[in-house]
Amino acid sequence: MKNMISRRYQETEKTAMGEVFDFLEKYDDIINLSIGDPDLVTDSGVIDKMAEDAKAGHTKYTDYRGYPELRAEIAKFYKEEYAVEIEDSEIFVSTGGCVSMYLVMEAILDDGDEVIIPDPYFAPYPSQVKLARGKAVMLSTYEEEGFQINIERLEKLVTDRTKAIILNTPNNPTGACLSLETMNKIADFCEKHDILVVADDIYTAFSFDTEFVPIMKIGSMRKRTITINSFSKNFVMTGFRVANIIGPEEVIQAIQKINENVVFTTPSISQRAALHALKMRHEIQPAIVEEFKSRVQYCKKRIEGINNMSVLDGGGSFYVFPNIKSTGLSSKEVTRLIMQEAHVLVLPGNAFGECGEGYIRISCTVGIEKLSEAFDRIEKMNMFV
């Protein structure tokens, strides 16, 4: 019999996430700080309104680009938050940030086109580029440079096939936020080389030290920026699978064509929830932001008191990315020991690219009480005393 599985999917190697899931089943005192899906439950007001809408008949396919009311609310959000005018034709409601990145890549790439990805990166990016038959080109970023993008290094990667660069600020996994100075330089670079920016704006509410500025606002970037804006993290709605894409009308039209053949339309009830979340954001978001800010600050404070572990100050998102190089062990070894000895699950930094080697990623998925227990266990480990 022929192999049923396409050659592209015959690899059997386990991912870092896969190993974590195996371990989860083994013990009942595990504190899981691995994947980015926190314990907070979506606001009950949003859920109630969504349920009312479902009962009123919002249970069907919607407009291809999403409910017009939701699109209008997204445009209003951009105007109120960032003073940017977005046309309705520039908005597409999609089924989560992950699928949005794939749709964008599929829409903009010809076979072999190159996409620059700052490393460390959100693990699926290279595969999303590859699925769309593009080539992922990694741009190293370093803690010593605050994980900012170094333009000289970026310039060296440009070829005549470079189509886009992916930006994610506040960042997963490093927590770093791109400075306005870096964003201005990236804008000049993109203009000079005619390169698009795909902005994965998923942690925008969690820019704790500086105000988040969307890159589409800088210089003439509006015409060359495609923004992905997920509800997953900013509104703790990971399970709803809803996001939006903002970009030039022709890109949105191409995305609509592709999406029609993949999911047709984004789930109606998730769109209703997104609509209500946006409308109620001033009531519901401050508490979420405050909670993550205090969790991140708590983790950083604890790390300060641990030998062989250090972390950069400032930044955002709800991840902490401590440097563990002075243990003399690899990211994978440290992660495994923390898992075995402390029963705490974190992810090895190199699961997020080569530049993540020497780091671990802690996701602030639980409240301070549990985080405190996790750090109490970790700091007793031989390699950290």
Provide the binding-site residues for ligand PMP, judged by CB under 6 A.
36, 96-98, 122, 168, 172, 200, 202, 230, 232, 238, 243
CA dist 34 and 140 (Å) reads 23
> For ligand PMP, which is the closer residue by CB, 238 or 266?
238
> For ligand PMP, which is the closer residue by CB, 97 or 214?
97
> For ligand PMP, which is the closer residue by CB, 242 or 381?
242
Residue nearest to ligand PMP (CB): 97
CA dist 116 and 139 (Å) reads 6
CB of 95 to ligand PMP, least distance (A): 8
CA dist 338 and 6 (Å) reads 36
In the chain, beta strands by DSSP E: 31-32, 91-94, 114-119, 135-140, 162-167, 196-200, 225-230, 243-246, 319-320, 344-345, 347-348, 360-363
> For ligand PMP, which is the closer residue by CB, 97 or 356?
97
> For ligand PMP, which is the closer residue by CB, 148 or 327?
148
CB of 245 to ligand PMP, least distance (A): 11
Yes or no: say if 378 and 338 are a contact pair by the CB < 8 Å rule.
yes
CB of 332 to ligand PMP, least distance (A): 20
> For ligand PMP, which is the closer residue by CB, 62 or 172?
172
The closest alpha carbon to 117, from 127, 108, 107, belongs to 127
Return the structure tokens found at 40. Answer: 């907070």
Return the structure tokens found at 130. Answer: 């590859």
CB of 147 to ligand PMP, least distance (A): 14
CB of 238 to ligand PMP, least distance (A): 5
DSSP-derived letter for residue 238 is G
Does an H or E element contain 211, and which? none
> For ligand PMP, which is the closer residue by CB, 117 or 383?
117
> For ligand PMP, which is the closer residue by CB, 235 or 384?
235
CB of 281 to ligand PMP, least distance (A): 17
The closest alpha carbon to 87, from 96, 97, 76, 95, belongs to 76
> For ligand PMP, which is the closer residue by CB, 182 or 327?
182
CB of 29 to ligand PMP, least distance (A): 25
Q: How many residues make up the chain in this entry?
A: 385
* CB contact set of 345 (below 8 Å; sequence gap of 6+): 20, 23, 24, 30, 31, 32, 33, 34, 338, 339
In 231-320, beta strands by DSSP E: 243-246, 319-320
* CB contact set of 207 (below 8 Å; sequence gap of 6+): 169, 170, 177, 316
Return the structure tokens found at 12. Answer: 């059997």
CB of 363 to ligand PMP, least distance (A): 9
> For ligand PMP, which is the closer residue by CB, 42 or 168?
168
Bridge-partner residues for 362, per DSSP?
320
Yes or no: say if 362 and 346 are a contact pair by the CB < 8 Å rule.
yes
CB of 341 to ligand PMP, least distance (A): 27
CA dist 230 and 97 (Å) reads 5
CB of 57 to ligand PMP, least distance (A): 27
The closest alpha carbon to 349, from 324, 370, 366, belongs to 324
Q: Is the peptide bond before 170 cis (omega within 30 degrees of 0)?
A: yes
